[in-house]
Structure 1
Amino acid sequence: MSREIEKIKYCSAGHSSEDFAYPYCRNLIHSVGLCDFCTKEHFIQEFKNWSSGNTNIDKIMQESQIKNRYNKLHWIPYDNFQNIEYIADCDYGSVYSAKLENGIKWKWNFIKQDWRYRLKDFKVALKEIKNSRYDIVRVINNYNCIDYGISKNPSTQNYIFVMDLLDGSLHNFLTKNFWGLEWQSKMDILSSIASLLCFSHEKNLVHCNLHSGNILMNYNFDILDLVIDSGLCKLEDNLILNSNNKNNQIYGSIPYLPPEVLRGNEFTRKGDVYSFSGIMYEIVTAKRPFTDQAHDTYLMIDICNGVRPKVSDFMLNLIPEWYLNLMYRCWSDDPSERPTSIELSNLFCEITDKLQDNIFDNNVMRQLKIADENHEHTSNPQKQELLEFFSYSSKLHPESCYISKCIHTLYGLHDLLEEIKSGKSSDPNILKSNESTTLNADT
């Protein structure tokens, strides 16, 4: 065994490899000067040298450094970021790319009596939180969505999540790659999203804000790296406790919100499944739901009356019938008729496995094979016609909005609905022209 990775029993500070530095993890000591206990002690010593300005955030980061060997959250000074470049706006602020000039502390070296750093000159994503509605402490508590740590913009005093730099949103990916995607790729994406949703639901978490702009991903050489932004994620137990209460206002994007929520009821796991259907729709049509309509109170009323986005007739031979049936089942007005995230995850995982092995042993698989063949045999004039159609039909209505905003529910507007319909009162859910330009600029 080489000297560099040789394990030893004691470090120079007297810590033993038989002790437990972290819960269920024995102390690792290496001859090159690395010791878990030394690292933990020096992280604790440095608590006095930094602060986020929020004691609750400090406590979360400190506990992560004390209890976790690897997945630690760090307070990262803003001057550590170099070459900051704007990427896009998101529901709660803006996303930037940057280089970590100095990296972040990794291990204390008891021989050199200094820190060993990692990720020097590494490119990361910075998500600056500009919306005051964002419950930063709650999201950090569920910090599997934050990869490296927290920072703060000294100019704006906004907190920043430091995360892996992915290629962009699922929406942007589909916009660029839709016509080259085979069903294997589409099923991989849906399987990953359903599995992540299932994982959250098993922890009793409800996402409440699932849409294609909130799903970040890389997709290179058939390797999918996908993350769901958990902005409004809530514990369903807390929502159930408030189930007798009606909401006058909610936060989200109207096309992805289930009818029960638009009526003022609380969000549940079945609501996430409804939102998932909007993603299913975009994956097979290259369009987000209701691009051609104003996202206003009238659309909310239509959704509550059972109106759903339509699939063009000439696309039907490219989409399996079972897929459309499942999509509209997820879009059911009755939450009890929607599948669970476990059902969705199991189905799409099974399909991806069979596609990988070229197994077409049932009607579901045979329909997928036919859809792929129909796509392959589409003539160039037909493809051009489709492209022209989607170029026209995908243009956003000037009063559409695919970034989450405050929405007045039908329950809260009950007494005003007739006045809104008659024009006596303005619709509080309709975007003003300047808001529309700002919110749709990067969608």
Structure 2
Amino acid sequence: MDLSKYWIIKNNNGKRIFDKLKDEDYANAKQLNIKSSLSENDKYGWHFITPEVLRGKPYTKAAGIYSFGPKQYEDLKVEYLKLMKRCWDPDPSKTTTAEELYENFDGWHDKLLIITNNVNSISIDKRIPSTTEWIPFPQIINLEEIAEGGFGIVYQAIWRNKKVAVKKFARSENSNTYFLNELRTHCKCCDCGCINKCYGITKDPITEEYMLVLQFADGGNLHEYLKNNFSNITWKEKLNILHQISMGLRNIHKIDFTHRDLHSGNILHFESNLYKSFQVADLGLAQPENISNDEINGVIPYMAPEIFIGSKFSKASDVYSMGMIMWEITTGCKPFSNVEHDYKLIYEIIDGKRPKITEDTPECIADLMIRCWDSDPGKRPSMDEIHKLLSDMKNEEFIGADQKRLELIGLKKLGPEYNEKPHSKAIYTSRSLSSYSDKFISLTKQDRQGYITREYEFDI
């Protein structure tokens, strides 16, 4: 009898299991006579069985807790070792209690508790709910690579007869950190329909890499949608897209996290027969707002200028990125795509350079956009305010804008197909930018004076 399967897989919450069952429930178990009832297929489970049961004594709560110990040790091997050893103490009176197990594992599946990164062990936040499912790798079929970004590879696959996305993080010293960050943020925002849904996690049995199993975006990302459909996207639809993105980012900010890598490639498009939806995704860099920047990663045109000169990522820096996404939705083009993404562009962004707002942009959107990308983080609106402003905008404000939009498209002055040819060194995948930031922090104002024409009150 494999008690690990009985306790862990069928029941998934230690406190409910141990509270509901009494000692006599064990004694009445079908497998009471363990030596005679074990089949050849069950012999794998022998090492989960407490010594007193093997000697013929009845099952008790302590016997069940003993089984919990070997199961955790088999899967985790490093963390909680003392607790596990207490689980399998030969003396039932010395075993740990169900309450102690519950406090340590609190709704988690056993395999979510630990990830070993070389010599170091990283303990995942125990508050992630049991709704995060452990998905055995063999259940995932038809795995096919569809995209590769700055920090990992995304596959499409089939799980439980539906198409899913499987995200593997690139091997690096921070890969486990990115995995944990994304998993934690997904779980904290799991009830939000404007954030890409995480079904659970799995593990590649060959590489031993952990992967996220996510909702599959059948419509690609926001930039692809704009590029393929720009001429037909009315201002009413643009407003709806902005509203959905603002809802997702607002919910991330409500838990006092920051996204830190918001750009159009990380906004996913889902399309059904009745409704188009857009979701914030790629939460691998998401962190609580008060966490400092150990490393600077991102896409230069979407990053707030203060990040390059030593300020922490913040909700305000996410709002700056939101302003750039607003501009991209109005034009169908990525910001600063016609120039190299290097020190020169960063100098210009710090100096106040922003993309040109199109003639068809309604005044209410233009004003909000300008506020979002203000050089002073303290002057940017909050996501709560942005969401409310977008919710309160009336369709009448966009009637004239749509007429102007069609006119500019007809004159070939608006749309991705009429934009300048992209520069070969315009990079729109997230990458490490720490070397850029370090250099700017080390420069004095006098060093930069030959280039910068206006001074802003940055905390240098």
TM-score class, shorter-chain normalisation, is 0.5 to 0.7
The question of whether the paired residues in 1 share the 8 Å contact of 2:316 and 2:377 is answered with: yes
Matched, 1:258 2:304: yes
User: Aligned-pair distance for 1:154?
Assistant: 3.6
Which of 75, 83, 92 is the aligned partner of 2:151?
Answer: 92
Question: Structure 1 residues 420 and 156 mapped into 2: Cα distance closer, same or farther (>3 Å)?
Answer: farther
The question of whether the paired residues in 1 share the 8 Å contact of 2:234 and 2:402 is answered with: yes
The question of whether the paired residues in 2 share the 8 Å contact of 1:329 and 1:337 is answered with: yes
Deviations 1:143-192 (A, max 9, x none): 33652211223444332100111122111111111111112211111111
Between 209-218 and 127-136, the greater mean CA deviation after superposition: 127-136
Deviations 1:331-372 (A, max 9, x none): 111111111111101111223xx44xxxx3xxxxx3x11112
The question of whether the paired residues in 2 share the 8 Å contact of 1:77 and 1:151 is answered with: yes
Deviations 1:78-114 (A, max 9, x none): 22221112221233211111112xxxxxxxxxxxxxx
The question of whether the paired residues in 2 share the 8 Å contact of 1:84 and 1:96 is answered with: yes
Q: Distance in 1 between matches of 2:411 and 2:419?
A: 14
Q: Distance in 2 between matches of 1:215 and 1:54?
A: 37
User: Aligned-pair distance for 1:47?
Assistant: 9.0
Question: SS state of the match for residue 148, structure 1?
Answer: strand
> Which residue is equivalent to 1:436?
none
Question: SS state of the match for residue 94, structure 1?
Answer: strand
Which of 427, 437, 444 is the aligned partner of 1:401?
Answer: 427
Question: Structure 1 residues 21 and 337 mapped into 2: Cα distance closer, same or farther (>3 Å)?
Answer: same
Which of 177, 186, 189 is the aligned partner of 2:229?
Answer: 177
Which of 82, 106, 110 is the aligned partner of 2:141?
Answer: 82
Question: Structure 1 residues 54 and 232 mapped into 2: Cα distance closer, same or farther (>3 Å)?
Answer: farther
The question of whether the paired residues in 2 share the 8 Å contact of 1:191 and 1:345 is answered with: yes
Between 44-53 and 393-402, the greater mean CA deviation after superposition: 44-53
For structure 2, list consecutive stretches of 5 or more residues without a partner in the other structure.
1-14, 18-63, 81-100, 111-125, 191-195, 451-460
Matched, 1:270 2:313: no
Question: Structure 1 residues 394 and 131 mapped into 2: Cα distance closer, same or farther (>3 Å)?
Answer: farther
Q: Distance in 2 between matches of 1:63 and 1:70?
A: 6
> Which residue is equivalent to 2:22?
none
> Which residue is equivalent to 1:73?
132
Supply the AA of the counterpart residue of 2:315.
R
Which of 271, 279, 292 is the aligned partner of 2:338?
Answer: 292
Matched, 1:139 2:182: yes
Q: Distance in 2 between matches of 1:90 and 1:54?
A: 31
Structure possessing the higher radius of gyration over alpha carbons? 2
Question: Structure 1 residues 79 and 421 mapped into 2: Cα distance closer, same or farther (>3 Å)?
Answer: farther
Mapping for residues 18-417 of structure 1, pairs under 5 Å:
48=71, 51=75, 63-65=107-109, 72-100=131-159, 120-132=160-172, 133-134=174-175, 135=177, 136-142=179-185, 143=187, 144=190, 147-167=198-218, 168-220=220-272, 221-239=274-292, 250-311=296-357, 315-316=358-359, 318-351=360-393, 354-355=394-395, 360=396, 366=397, 368-376=398-406, 378=407, 383=410, 385-386=412-413, 390-391=416-417, 393=419, 395-407=421-433, 408-413=435-440
Q: Percent of counterpart pairs with the same letter?
A: 31
Q: Distance in 1 between matches of 2:128 and 2:259?
A: 28
The question of whether the paired residues in 1 share the 8 Å contact of 2:309 and 2:440 is answered with: no
Supply the AA of the counterpart residue of 1:235.
P
Supply the AA of the counterpart residue of 1:232.
L
The question of whether the paired residues in 2 share the 8 Å contact of 1:217 and 1:227 is answered with: no
The question of whether the paired residues in 2 share the 8 Å contact of 1:47 and 1:62 is answered with: no
Deviations 1:53-87 (A, max 9, x none): 8859xx99973459999962222232222111222
Q: Distance in 2 between matches of 1:196 and 1:234?
A: 15
Structure with the higher fraction of residues in strand conformation: 1
Q: Distance in 1 between matches of 2:431 and 2:403?
A: 41
Question: SS state of the match for residue 208, structure 2?
Answer: coil
Across the aligned residues of Structure 1 and Structure 2, the Cα RMSD in angstroms comes to: 3.6
Supply the AA of the counterpart residue of 1:375.
R
Question: Structure 1 residues 290 and 216 mapped into 2: Cα distance closer, same or farther (>3 Å)?
Answer: same
User: Aligned-pair distance for 1:412?
Assistant: 3.3
User: Aligned-pair distance for 1:306?
Assistant: 0.6
Question: Structure 1 residues 164 and 293 mapped into 2: Cα distance closer, same or farther (>3 Å)?
Answer: same
Question: Structure 1 residues 54 and 334 mapped into 2: Cα distance closer, same or farther (>3 Å)?
Answer: farther
Q: Distance in 2 between matches of 1:308 and 1:178?
A: 22
Mapping for residues 2-17 of structure 1, pairs under 5 Å:
none
Q: Distance in 2 between matches of 1:163 and 1:236?
A: 25
Question: SS state of the match for residue 385, structure 1?
Answer: coil
Q: Distance in 1 between matches of 2:69 and 2:216?
A: 28
Question: SS state of the match for residue 319, structure 1?
Answer: coil
Supply the AA of the counterpart residue of 1:184.
K
Question: SS state of the match for residue 124, structure 1?
Answer: strand
